[in-house]
Amino acid sequence: MKQTGKNILIRFQKQWQLMLWLEVFLYTFSSAILIWFLTQSWVLSLTCFALIFVMALLIKKPWKINLQIASNYVDANSTKLEYSSWLLLEESAELTGLAKLQQQKMSNTLEAEIKSIKPEHQLKTAIIISVFLVAIGYLGFYTGISENFNFNRNTTSKEKTASFVPIDSLAVKHKVPVLKSQLVTINYPSYTGLATASTSKMDIKAVEGSRVTWELDFDAAVDSVSLESMGKHREMMKTNQSFTGSTALNTSGFYNFKFTDTFGATYSSDLFTIEVIKDKSPLIRIENLKQFSSFDYTDNKVLSFGAFITDDFGVGNAHIIATVSKGTGESVKFREEQLEFDEPMSSGEKQLNLSKTIDLDKMNMEPGDELYFYVEAQDLRRPKENTARSETYFAVIKDTINYGPGVEGGLGVDLMPDYFRSQRQLIIDTEKLITQRGKISEEEFNSTSNDLGFDQKSLRLKYGQFMGDEAEGSSTNGGEVTEAIDHDHDQEEDPLAKYSHAHDSDNEHNLVEDPHDHDQDENKEEEDPLADYLHDHGDPESSTLFTDNLKSKLRQALNIMWDAELHLRLYEPEKSLPFQYEALELIQDIKNSARIYVHRIGFDPPPIKEEVRLSGDIKDVTNFNKNEQFESSDEYSFIKQSIFRLEELKDLNSKSTGIDRELFDKAGSELAKKAIQEPGRFLKTLQQLKQLAERQQISKKLIIEVQKGLLKALPEVAPEPQQKYGFGGKLNELVLKELELNE
């Protein structure tokens, strides 16, 4: 659709404004990133973003670009518009005929000229300056120059210094030793390749297995210093005025220091965190390989794939574990091999791209054999490496043996079991075929209908086995079995039959068959007096697993399956469907009839002895008593006990006893488990609880703060239905709510 000249000018105006807005954003964003890299402060970064955004807006003023300015700019940059683009902004109804012709001419000219006119902007300069500012900020952060611009360095240094608080403030009557310097040295495990790090920050974050060494230097004589971590107490070695101690990091937790001066006063520091970083297992990714591969005997039986292995501190070893299975059933045998990759592997690399080509023929695999393999990799962790394995992949060589019909003793035997569809599946497939009539070709429709007829026949023969119909040539008609009759009587009689010695006959010594023998045999069978009372297993109607009424239903279902198969063979699935539903209903009825239902029996009390009834004799009546102890699984039992004990100490305003301090210590162990998961929330409460476990005189303010912190640590209890008692009325509820808020 052809655009009008005014629409072209509007689009040009919006494009010009968008470029100016992009310039403002680039200057603002790059400046904010620079400030963040240098100061590590989001507050300063956001402040800088706001200031520069306002300044850039006042300079660029993108909102001032209107249609009149855009029209003048277009006229100044085009010689073909003849400074007449202002006509495009006027309404056609208000112009004269000549002006309308000029407006149409300018519209066509502008559409051709606008492609060569670019808005005035400095977007390239803004991009270059933005990249330059971000690069300067990153280099300053990477090289450490940004620490000189860190406005929080004085505060940080104060937080890094460990502060000690006297446990018993009344016993302190002299100058308290002050910690002059502190140093934490982290020796990472050798396999990580990380250099030894030293810092004055007491909160530690290191790899599992790292050895941490603390060095504390005091300005006065100190008798002893100990390190306490998660209930363990370690004495630090004294060297002049310095104390050193080290330990290996295995689990995350908390620790603090205690020292005793020469006058016997004991001091305790704040709690510091230990965060142990677990060494991750290698990651394995298999490329260009399907989960299951199969090959014919004549194929090129080769598997080629790649393995991409990564680890955080380096891969130590990688190989392929392959298992070959031979044989079937009880004679199956397995052979396991360890395969190496095609290219040599360099230990210690953090990323490995390996490839492997497996030739099944070289692994002495034969038709019918299967191969299972996976990639296994270990890292460099010591003393026990982390092991990872990929998913298991499969490869099989198809067997050349045909399990089709075999010939044994002149009879056709199918060695493999057939797959039988259920009647419900046949109904679903028949309904699907009916919906496809007209959508698929007639040849495909007839072929599918014939296949369904074959499946219906297979299902009928399957159910016919329960009725004794073992021969496929037998047919059912009205509940009677009619065997195929040999019609060879009309053929010519063999002229040598009287003179030949037939070894295959029933009586090979009789050259001439007596015609009266058959009548005599029939009379003998009719005269058998026990024939009506015997259960003849040779009779198909008697050799079944069902009772008579179920046999009749099953025979009826087989007859209906005949009709269903007939219409499927005649390519009439619509007529076959009602018979299939009727057969399914009969089969389900037979299955339900074979179910066993257990009669529900109520309580049958023992009979009452009338001679002792209402006699009042209870000498043989005894009570049943059972004592059983259940172990408490409450994870916060000591915290709950501490809350109640703190309430008592708050009311009594008394000193804590040794039992109280032991209780607070156990509560601190329970709280430490929760504080490891949420250190920022419960660290202060854990420090205060540790002070309660070390002091005898406790202030009421400290008791209230610790009690509130312990209450927050307790999980919320699920409400239980109960009767509510209390004062009624809306006013009382508002008063109680106000009291709870201002407590």
Asked if residue 298 has pLDDT above 70, the reply is yes
Give 4's contacts (C-beta < 8 A, 6+ positions apart).
88, 107
Between 702 and 535, the higher pLDDT residue: 702
Cα 222 to chain centroid, rounded: 56
pLDDT value at residue 389:
93
**Which pLDDT band, with edges at 50, 70 and 90, does 7 fall under?**
confident
**Lowest mean per-residue pLDDT among 90-99, 151-160, 592-601, 717-726:** 151-160
Most confident listed range (223-227, 539-543, 605-609, 654-658): 223-227
Of 81-85, 265-269, 699-703, give the lowest mean pLDDT range. Answer: 81-85
Q: Strand ranges (DSSP E) for 143-178? A: 164-166
Long-range contacts of 575-584 (CB under 8 A, 24+ apart): 576/430, 576/456, 577/427, 577/430, 577/431, 577/434, 580/423, 580/426, 580/427, 580/430, 580/456, 581/427, 583/423, 583/557, 584/423, 584/424, 584/427
Q: Strand, coil or helix: what is 129?
A: helix
The distance between the two most distant Cα atoms of the chain, rounded to a whole number of Å, is: 144
> Are 269 and 171 members of one domain?
yes
Q: 492 lies in a domain?
A: no
Residue 641: is its pLDDT beyond 70?
yes
Q: Provide the domain count of the chain.
A: 5
Residue 599 lies in a domain: no
Residue span of the structural domain in which 683 resides: 637-715
Q: Give 438's contacts (C-beta < 8 A, 6+ positions apart).
A: none
**Can you tell me the mean pLDDT for 218-243?**
81
Where is pLDDT greater, at 577 or 722?
Answer: 577
Is the domain of 661 the same as that of 543? no
One domain, residues 141 and 165: no
Comparing 67-71, 515-519, 684-688, the range with the smallest average pLDDT is 515-519
Same-domain status, 332 and 201: no
- Same-domain pairing of 61 and 131: yes
- Average of pLDDT values for 510-522? 43
Say which residue, 345 or 97, is predicted with more confidence: 345
Give the residue-averaged pLDDT of 149-173.
51
Between 107 and 41, whose confidence is greater? Answer: 41
pLDDT at 338: 92
Region 271-296: what's the mean pLDDT? 90
Q: Within a domain: residue 577?
A: yes
User: Model confidence over 574-616: pLDDT tens digits?
Assistant: 999 999 999 988 888 877 765 555 555 666 777 877 777 788 8
Residue finishing a domain among 365, 397, 429: 397
Do 457 and 360 lie in one domain? The reply is no
Q: What is the pTM of this model?
A: 0.45
In this structure, are 129 and 246 located in the same domain? no
pLDDT at 263: 77
Per the document, the length of the chain is 743
Quick one: pLDDT at residue 407? 39
> Which of 126-135, 275-284, 496-505 is predicted least confidently?
496-505
Q: Which range, of 190-199, 255-264, 439-448, 644-653, averages the lowest pLDDT?
A: 644-653
Q: And the tokens for 151?
A: 């406005």
Same domain flag for 23 and 108 = yes
CA 372 to CA 389: how far, in whole Å?
13
pLDDT of residue 419: 43
> Considering the chain, what is the average pLDDT of its residues?
75
In the predicted structure, residue 483 carries a pLDDT above the cut 70: no
Where is pLDDT greater, at 272 or 155?
272
388/320 same-domain check: yes
Q: Is the pLDDT of residue 409 over 60?
A: no
- The answer, yes or no, to whether residue 687 has pLDDT greater than 70, is yes
Contact (Cβ atoms closer than 8 angstroms) between residue 393 and residue 374: yes
pLDDT on residue 281:
92
The residues pairing with 465 across neighbouring beta strands, listed in sequence order, are none
| DSSP one-letter string for 567-619 | HHHTT-HHHHHHHHHHHHHHHHHHHHHT---PPP----PPPP-TTTTTS---T
Q: Is the pLDDT of residue 305 over 90?
A: yes
Does residue 158 form part of some domain? yes
Across 196-216, average pLDDT:
89
CATH number of the domain where residue 265 is located: 2.60.40.10
Which of the residue ranges 213-227, 359-373, 573-587 would you say has the lowest mean pLDDT? 213-227
Determine what percent of the chain is predicted with pLDDT higher than 70: 70
Q: How confident is the model at residue 5 (pLDDT cuts 50, 70, 90)?
A: low
Two tokens at 313?
């501190």
- For the segment 368-382, the average pLDDT, to the nearest whole number, is 91
**Bridging pattern class, strands 292-295 and 393-397:** parallel
Which residues are 310's β-sheet partners?
283, 351
CB 236 within 8 A of CB 222: no
Helix axes 548-569 and 573-593, enclosed angle (nearest 10): 160
Residue range 426-443: mean pLDDT, rounded: 90
Tell me the C-alpha distance between 682 and 454, whole Å.
75
**Average pLDDT of the segment spanning 505-516:** 42
Q: What band does 690 get if pLDDT is binned at 50, 70 and 90? A: confident
Q: Comparing 74-83, 482-491, 547-556, 729-738, which segment has the lowest mean pLDDT? A: 482-491
pLDDT band at 572 (very low <50, low <70, confident <90, very high): very high
pLDDT at 31 over 70: yes
**In this model, does residue 224 exceed pLDDT 80?**
yes
Residues 31 and 76 in one domain: yes
Residue 394 confidence (pLDDT): 92
* Radius of gyration, CA atoms only, the chain: 48
Summary count for the chain: helices (H), strands (E)? 16, 25
Q: What is residue 233's predicted lDDT score, i.e. its pLDDT?
A: 82
Same domain, 102 and 232: no
Please choose, from the candidates 370, 551, 566, 373, the residue with its C-alpha nearest in 3D space to the C-alpha of residue 452.
Answer: 566
Does the residue 488 lie in any domain?
A: no
Kindly tell me if the per-residue pLDDT of 236 is higher than 70.
yes
Is 428 part of a structural domain of the chain?
yes
What mean pLDDT do residues 542-556 have? 67
Burial zone of 533 (CB within 10 Å; 0-12 exposed, 13-18 middle, 19+ buried): exposed
CA–CA distances in Å: residue 72 to residues 21, 81, 84, 89: 21, 11, 9, 12
User: Is the pLDDT reported for residue 512 higher than 50?
Assistant: no
Find out whether 376 and 353 touch, Cβ atoms under 8 Å.
no
Of 338 and 644, the structure prediction assigns the larger pLDDT to 338
Backbone angles phi, psi at 514, to 5 degrees: -80, 120
Query: Which tens digits make up the pLDDT trace of 138-160?
Result: 887 766 565 555 544 443 334 45
Residue keyed to tokens 């965060």? 275
Residue 414 has pLDDT above 70, yes or no: no
Residue with tokens 């620490």: 147
Max avg pLDDT among 114-118, 538-542, 582-586: 582-586
pLDDT score of 396: 92
Q: How far is CA 271 from CA 165, 183, 197, 327, 682, in A?
A: 12, 16, 21, 66, 11
Compute, in degrees rounded to 10, the torsion defined by CA atoms 556, 562, 564, 570.
Answer: -160
Residue by residue, DSSP assigns 240-252 as TTEEEEEEE--S-
158/139 same-domain check:
no
Domain edge (last residue) among 128, 145, 162: 145
Phi, psi of 593, rounded to the nearest 5 degrees:
-70, -25
Torsion angle of C-alpha atoms 394, 399, 402, 404, degrees rounded to 10: -20
Whether 407 is in a domain gets the answer no
Q: How confident is the model at residue 486 (pLDDT cuts 50, 70, 90)?
A: very low
**Residue 562 placed within a domain:** yes
